[in-house]
Structure 1
């Protein structure tokens, strides 16, 4: 029986080295050049490396040095049937096995949990292209596979084989799943049907949104201790919206969007920057939220460049959060901010629609109401002292007309502030000094009368309008008014004459004159100013100027 000879593998500049080694060994060993080795038969008892040209290393030399096994990716050589010819150590580590896998089918080694048939993968014929896919294994890990064709010397012939690179992509797959879940949450959160929008009150919509935020925060992000606060745009107080797992004292704590003195939450709202607190016990900004909190993560809720609020998460372990956690919370906070903003826009839209409806009704009712009041007053002046029953009936008519006008002209109720976003856009800024004030307008221009009804009526004023001085004097004789607005050009008197007649009836009522841009031939304004005229308004009315002048007139004591 012939004893098997030992083999020596020579790596390097072998053209001259191999004969010399054979001469030295006396033909006792099979001396083989690495360049002549055919995979997979690359075993040897001895390895000799020629270092005269260290920069020229063969692939086998690289493998012998352990570099292929040091790579983070698994590398596998396969034949056309996807049978393993060779693999590095990393491949076994990825599969969590210590067994040598040479000779096994790739399908049996990978064992895709979803039943993917690796034999059916379409691998490009060109060596520069590859097929890529992700498979999930039975142990719930995910592997990224990349298969490409290559030509190798196999068993003495030049044949086609496959190079497989394998990478553990479990973390990336989980992150992608979390991103998809956040995206789906964004589609679902605050997404109401037309019927739900109509049927649900604002408070019910807020409660639904809070329930959804709580559910998605726990299920998608896995956080059980968190707090969401909303920024009041007027006071910059951070008002609690939703909390879970926080101390009652912390949940009730008053915080403001300030750089210092208001914890991490106040700093984040002030700076518009996220804040990762790795160790709460050593952080100068941190204020205790949860009893056992040792780490916290806080991000701003932003819409464009506006801070809507803050989202704070806490954990009992130090160094519990990293950049990935910050990225996911930031992404989720955008979904939350968008839903909150959408909810508040719905409130603003409803208030705006109600305001427009009230304005339209006011315009439609104001002229007929003025005509009824003027006619009733004209009749009342002729029956005073003659027929008390008729006078009582006329007073009843005018009282009912005023109540109807006041009901129609009243704007929508005060907007809900459960979510204090963009409160100033939800309704017109109130002017408390004008609420309930009675205003008489004397002007033959119907457009001017309508404008006065609309602008002053929106502020809660009770506006009544007539067309000439005679009607204006009759109204002032019979009813109380806090201010009178009269034009300088009337059909039966100029501005100064009307001013004098109104003064004779009531010397204390403030009077404001109105005029278009033109020459005051009667010098009504100059004469009236000498006798206590309050102000002059120019047409077309500027909203702010009219409101300012009327407000000053009703809050300044009249002439004695």
Structure 2
């Protein structure tokens, strides 16, 4: 049986040395004395004795032998092993490791892939399977896979971890003297048994070894990212609940930085939040970025705003392998050669961007992109949690302020009414008394303003990560409005509806009070709009208009009436004199706001 080295194995030193003797592999037996192979071959031939057919196959595959001598009593074994390993050349080139073991876990045969994973300097043939792999830790599910396979005659599966943090999944298949094991169907699933019906006697195991390091490490990284994301949003334990909004944001930044560095091994980070109205990308966190890059104004626009603007406008991640060759890239970190940018998404809306950079070209892979996208979802969720906390605090503050204001608004208006009535009816006109009355007026007005200011200071500024849902009425903010009606419910409703838009709202019961209120305001404190019922206790709406016209030009008056009721034709006469609008009670909020805004714009023009 002549033999030579395979094309994938280098020849041994002995084979390459022309002076070394011819070598014969000798698997002897009971006929050794009759054969006397050593005496017959002489000193010019080196006879290498072995004790199993498996060793013969392993040595023939890896070394150069002139011939192989097998005693007749091993012919059956040679045939059986030859059937099992008839595709030896294919097995040797497989990416997975393949090993034949005996009952002592001794390696009888192996392929090239398995040898590449063995510890340097270890003798593989004849060595212990675990020892040649460096004593890996058995992770299960079967913690004695080879023993189980030999004992049960069934296949066994387990996972190993080596000291260099590689993971191998092993699958041990028993080989019996009656032939290979086959899987057969049973009522409980599948079980392994010999292909023949005779009782199996397992002598060897064929073990396949698959490197699952990438899969396991990826699962571990995903688990770490998931845990990191959970930790980001976990901002409500007792020790955190007492922090204000700014302190919570700082804590979130610390958690993000910790996770990025420890889990994702990233040191250069930039997070920008998108203002949904202006489309500006405001920097909220930057580590390792050049100051000029942090201060750069960027918009959510795919043109002229770098990779960050492109990602924010399209909602698509962007992997930049070579910054010097990418026309979209704007310098971020000094000396960066590659970058990775992903959108921060909340309910399918882009609320910001997360950007990382590296001094190496092609530093990021598709896996890195997927990991960063997963982490970005956690960042967006954590920011949303902060905003919900801020919104809750703002809502609570607003409710408290509204309750206080609703309780004091009308009483303060009464103080104002009484004060101007006293001033109008005071005969002596003593200057100190008048000054004190003016102070009463001013202090009463200041009380309402202070309530508004306290409410605004109690409500924290949020990051506004989502679309702005709060209705803004900049035309109304700061405008001074007087509502004249003898119905308490109308005056209270006016406060409830208009105070939310930061108007300076005051009320009066009748025409005379309204006249006094208007007359005792300074020029720079005049009312921007006056809403008056057409039927007041002491005069009609038209009469009030004419009275105010004596010292106001123009008169910013809007008349109110219930269900079109106008017995004195005040509306018709007032329209002739220049009144622009009439508001019908009970008025809806949209009609009230629209009418006031239209008149404000008309009078300001």
Under a length normalisation based on structure 1, what TM-score does the superposition of the two structures give?
0.79
Give the CA deviation at 1:307: 1.5
Q: Is the 8 A contact 2:318 2:340 kept in 1?
A: yes
Alpha carbons of structure 1 residues 429 and 129: separation in structure 2 relative to 1, 3 Å = farther
Is 1:185 the equivalent of 2:228?
yes
Give the CA deviation at 1:404: 1.5
Of 488, 500, 510, the residue aligned with 2:556 is 510
Match of 1:485 in 2: 531
**SS of the residue 1:280 aligns to:** coil
Of 305, 319, 323, the residue aligned with 1:262 is 305
Is 1:466 the equivalent of 2:511?
no
Alpha carbons of structure 1 residues 558 and 510: separation in structure 2 relative to 1, 3 Å = farther
Bigger mean CA deviation after superposition, 115-124 or 487-496: 115-124
Match of 2:112 in 1: 89
Is 1:219 the equivalent of 2:262?
yes
Match of 2:281 in 1: 238
Q: Is the 8 A contact 1:417 1:423 kept in 2?
A: no
Of 314, 317, 325, the residue aligned with 2:368 is 325
Match of 2:336 in 1: 293
**Deviation digits for residues 438-468 of structure 1 (CA, Å, limit 9, x no counterpart):** 3211123333212211332223322222333
Q: Is the 8 A contact 1:515 1:539 kept in 2?
A: yes
Bigger mean CA deviation after superposition, 535-544 or 112-121: 112-121
Give the CA deviation at 1:126: 13
Alpha carbons of structure 1 residues 383 and 205: separation in structure 2 relative to 1, 3 Å = same
Distance (Å, rounded) in 2 between the aligned partners of 1:460 and 1:490: 27
Stretches of structure 1 lacking an aligned partner (at least 5 in a row) = 7-27, 44-57
Of 155, 163, 169, the residue aligned with 1:144 is 169
**SS of the residue 2:277 aligns to:** coil
Give the CA deviation at 1:99: 5.6
Alpha carbons of structure 1 residues 69 and 481: separation in structure 2 relative to 1, 3 Å = same
Distance (Å, rounded) in 1 between the aligned partners of 2:200 and 2:123: 26
Alpha carbons of structure 1 residues 468 and 40: separation in structure 2 relative to 1, 3 Å = farther
Distance (Å, rounded) in 2 between the aligned partners of 1:40 and 1:96: 33
Is 1:171 the equivalent of 2:214?
yes
Give the CA deviation at 1:163: 4.5
Distance (Å, rounded) in 1 between the aligned partners of 2:313 and 2:150: 59
**Deviation digits for residues 472-510 of structure 1 (CA, Å, limit 9, x no counterpart):** 344334445332111234444444344444445645331
Match of 1:525 in 2: 571
Distance (Å, rounded) in 2 between the aligned partners of 1:78 and 1:514: 100
Match of 2:201 in 1: 159
Is 1:408 the equivalent of 2:408?
no
**Deviation digits for residues 246-299 of structure 1 (CA, Å, limit 9, x no counterpart):** 333333322222112122222111111111122222222222323332222221
Of 88, 93, 98, the residue aligned with 1:75 is 98
Give the CA deviation at 1:412: 0.7
Q: Is the 8 A contact 2:345 2:377 kept in 1?
A: yes
**SS of the residue 1:38 aligns to:** helix
Is 1:442 the equivalent of 2:484?
yes
Bigger mean CA deviation after superposition, 117-126 or 258-267: 117-126
Give the CA deviation at 1:152: 5.3
Give the CA deviation at 1:154: 6.6
Distance (Å, rounded) in 2 between the aligned partners of 1:86 and 1:461: 90
Q: Is the 8 A contact 1:441 1:466 kept in 2?
A: yes
Is 1:496 the equivalent of 2:539?
no
**Deviation digits for residues 505-547 of structure 1 (CA, Å, limit 9, x no counterpart):** 6453311112344454443323221111132223344434433
Q: Is the 8 A contact 2:545 2:574 kept in 1?
A: yes
Is 1:210 the equivalent of 2:253?
yes
Alpha carbons of structure 1 residues 93 and 457: separation in structure 2 relative to 1, 3 Å = same
Distance (Å, rounded) in 2 between the aligned partners of 1:455 and 1:448: 10
Give the CA deviation at 1:326: 1.1
Distance (Å, rounded) in 1 between the aligned partners of 2:390 and 2:505: 29
Stretches of structure 2 lacking an aligned partner (at least 5 in a row) = 1-32, 38-46, 48-67, 181-197
**SS of the residue 1:334 aligns to:** helix
Match of 2:188 in 1: none
Is 1:38 the equivalent of 2:77?
yes
Of 343, 368, 381, the residue aligned with 1:338 is 381
Number of aligned residues: 519
Match of 2:34 in 1: 2
Give the CA deviation at 1:114: 4.4
**SS of the residue 1:230 aligns to:** strand
Distance (Å, rounded) in 1 between the aligned partners of 2:304 and 2:571: 57
Distance (Å, rounded) in 2 between the aligned partners of 1:516 and 1:3: 129
Q: Is the 8 A contact 1:508 1:558 kept in 2?
A: no
